[in-house]
Amino acid sequence: MRLFSVLAALIALFGGYTWLVLNWSYSSGERAGYVQKFSSKGWICKTWEGELAMVTMPGTLTEKFEFSVRDPEVAKKLNESMGKRVSLHYEQHIGVPTSCFGETQYFVDDVRVVDVPDAERSLMPMTAPAAVPAE
C-alpha cells in the first residue's frame, strides 16, 4: 500500500510539473521569414515541427528558427501560408519533459501573413516570363 502511495505521488508530481512548464512561458515573441519546412513527425506522439528561414537582408546568410506547433488550427494556417512571408508568434517553454509535446522549446501559437515591402520586393530575383506558344 505504501508503494502505491509513493507511485501515485510521483505520477502527480510529474503531471503537475508537465502542466506547469506547458502553461507557463519563459519568453514570447515574434519571428518573421519564410517557412521552408513543416511536417507532422513522430512514431507514437505526432507533433508538427517546422523551420523558418529568417533573412535579414537579401544576399546574407539565412538564420533558421526551429519551432513546434501543438494547435491543429495553427498547423492548418501554416500549411496554407507556405511560400509566403509570415510572422510567427511563439512562446518558449523550457524543461518540457518529453518530445510528445514538441521537439523544440518554441511553440508557435499564431501565424500572420506579412506583405513584402516594395524596397525588399525590388531586390528579389525576377523570374523569366512564361514562353508564349507560337500560333
The pLDDT value given to residue 61: 82
**Whether the predicted pLDDT of 31 surpasses 70:** yes
Domain 2-116 top-level CATH class: mainly beta
The pLDDT value given to residue 75: 95
**Whether the predicted pLDDT of 126 surpasses 50:** no
Q: What is the mean pLDDT of residues 69-96?
A: 93
Contact 106, 92 (CB under 8 A): yes
Residue 45 pLDDT level (bands cut at 50, 70, 90):
confident
Of all helices (H) and strands (E), which one includes residue 44?
none
Residue in 42, 51, 40 with CA at minimum distance from that of residue 88: 51
Sequence spans of domains, the chain: 2-116
The pLDDT value given to residue 109: 94
Residue in 21, 24, 23, 27 with CA at minimum distance from that of residue 91: 27
**Whether the predicted pLDDT of 62 surpasses 90:** no
Place of cell 512562446: 91
Q: What is the pLDDT of residues 88-125, one digit of tens each?
A: 999 999 988 878 888 999 999 999 999 766 545 554 55
